[in-house]
Amino acid sequence: MNIEELVPLTNGLSFRCDGLTLVCDRAKVRPVKNEAIEMKFSVAGTDYVPRLRLARERITRATSEEIARIVRHVACHAIGAAVHS
């Protein structure tokens, strides 16, 4: 997978969290040094803007399903952590 594919993959990606179906929106990707990228996206209908940092090497070796699983996990964890704090 290449970096240019991250935004279209993330925008519109749905995930289940605490019985709700939520959607990722407005993803932005930026390089962090030469070895990593930072991705942030909003969760539609909320004020949550999760961020994650991934090594470029991991992205280039990953499939779109693996990246989607990571984004869903980060998004649900951000919502869950915020709701319970």
Q: What is the pLDDT of residues 52-80, one digit of tens each?
A: 999 999 999 999 999 999 999 999 998 88
Q: Give me the number of domains the chain comprises.
A: 1
Pairing verdict, β 20-32 and 36-43: antiparallel
Cα–Cα distance between 84 and 48 in angstroms, integer? 14
Task: Tell me the pLDDT tens digit for each residue of 1-56.
Answer: 888 999 999 999 999 888 889 999 999 999 998 899 999 999 999 999 999 999 99
Burial of 3 (0-12, 13-18, 19+ CB in 10 A): middle
Do 67 and 1 meet the contact criterion of CB atoms below 8 Å apart?
yes
pTM of the model: 0.87
64: domain range?
3-84
